[in-house]
Amino acid sequence: MYKLALSISILVLFHQSSKPNTYIEWGFYGHRLINRLAVFTLPPELIGFYKKHIEYISEHAIDPDKRRYTVKAEAIRHYIDLDHWLHNSMDSLPDDYALAMLQFSDFIVYTTHDSFPLFTETDHQQDSSNHLQFSEPVVAYFSPNECILTVVQFRKIFNSYLLPEYDPDLWTTDLHIFNEYLDIKPGHARLLIKDTFSQHGILPYNFKKVYQQLVRAFSEKEISKILRLSAEIGHYLGDAHVPLHTSKNYNGQLTDQIGIHAFWESRIPELFAEQDFDFVVGPANYIDDVNSYIWRLIYESHSFVAGLLEKEKQLSQSYPFDKQYCFESRGSATVKLPCKKYAALYYQSLNDQVEQRMRKSIQGLGSLWLSAWIEAGQPDLINLSTKPIITDLTEVIDSNSKELIDPVRNHE
């Protein structure tokens, strides 16, 4: 029965994805498929609720991509350039956003006549330290009760007051947010965050936040939030499984392989998923540490980057150039795409890599839904299903997000 339901669901989705004017992408077709099939990994306590809302869960899988062009903070949530930070086996990134910002960015205090660091440079740069020391000018200006701030205290301030003010153009807020530790009145000084970290992507950091929001939505039995966050965490999980979402060479632009991103995540599924991919995956399992899970996944995805680039490079140099790309009609447009025979050779050289990443996404998403529900105390979802649903495609997690001015990276 499980396999039959999956087969019917897959056939329906392939039929929907083949409509005119549709270009099948991981970003649309793939994300919808992952969300839809994840429903069938769930145990009896959850599958009834999710099957009832399977169309919503599937359709809203692409909402984060839609927001990338209207919300400044959205684009950086879809990737992380690990190879910008990790240059040898000894390098690592903090698995907490606040700690990463402390290590790689600057926090500058501005008064009417002066500017100076919030923390001493030594503590600022030591991500392993459990304490932060206010700089001498901060002590002189604002006579703090304690010259030391714990990392736990800073993380609370960062998540509660600094993150909601995020703006890649000018990230600033009133220093009064530290009034519990500094003798300062509103309007007397500003804090500027010189963020040199987030532009390289925050996918795993945002993932942790969205998961926590999903747990809270289950706890509060907010059906609209449960559905929206269930759909959206599926999108971010799918992105985390795509190797090129973890690299600064995200579209082969650094190795003369422009277009490889769409080749891997769009063209291959379009040509081979229906016929060759096996989407019958195992049941969802409880994940006891979601933060560790997403970081392991990110590093795993990144381990495939060099190989997929090398295989495409070798193939492109050995296969006749005039037979690598073909023109196909897509609705009213004619587009240049990797030819089917050429794509088949690349697909075979990857040893089912694309299929395996999609399969892992499906089972992983079901496991995340299950884990969030368990962490929330396993609320009854049967009666919850009768509550009205607010369906707002444009709703965003951050209530104060601002419109975009500059274009975003166009591969995620």
Q: Are 61 and 369 in contact (CB under 8 A)?
A: no
Residue indicated by tokens 């879809």: 78
Q: Please indicate whether residue 363 or residue 400 has the higher confidence score (pLDDT).
A: 363
Question: How far, in Å, CA of 211 to CA of 303, rounded?
Answer: 24
User: CA angle at residue 159 from 100 to 398, to 5 degrees?
Assistant: 110
pLDDT, tens only, 208-232: 999 999 999 999 999 999 999 999 9
Single out the residue of 80, 78, 112 nearest to residue 95, CA to CA.
Answer: 80
Question: How far, in Å, CA of 390 to CA of 223, rounded?
Answer: 9
pTM confidence score: 0.88
> What would you report as the CA-atom Rg of the chain, rounded to the nearest whole angstrom?
23
Number of H helices, E strands in the chain: 18, 8
Question: Does residue 215 sit in helix, strand or coil?
Answer: helix
Structural domain spans, the chain: 2-80+206-386, 97-200
What count of Cα atoms within 13 Å lies in the side-chain half-sphere of residue 319? 19
Is the predicted pLDDT of residue 390 greater than 70, yes or no? no
Q: Please indicate whether residue 382 or residue 157 has the higher confidence score (pLDDT).
A: 157
What letter represents residue 1's amino acid? M
CATH of domain 2-80+206-386: 1.10.575.10
pLDDT, tens only, 122-144: 544 544 568 899 999 999 999 87
Give the contacts of 316 (CB within 8 A, at least 6 positions apart): 257, 324
Which pLDDT band holds residue 69 (cuts at 50, 70, 90)? confident
φ, ψ (nearest 5 deg) of residue 16: -65, -35
370-397 in b/e form (b: 16+ CB < 10 A) is: bbbbbbbeeeebeeeeeeeeeeeeeebb
pLDDT, tens only, 238-290: 999 999 999 999 999 999 999 999 999 999 999 999 899 999 999 999 999 99
Three-state SS string over 274-306 comes to: HHHCCCCCCCCCCCCCHHHHHHHHHHHHHCCHH
Single out the residue of 126, 125, 146 nearest to residue 134, CA to CA.
Answer: 146
- 83: tokens are 């190879």
What distance separates the 2 farthest-apart alpha carbons in the chain?
Answer: 72
Q: Cite the DSSP H helix spans in 174-289.
A: 203-220, 223-240, 260-262, 268-276
pLDDT, tens only, 29-64: 889 999 999 999 999 999 999 999 999 999 999 999
> Cα–chain-centroid distance for residue 165?
19
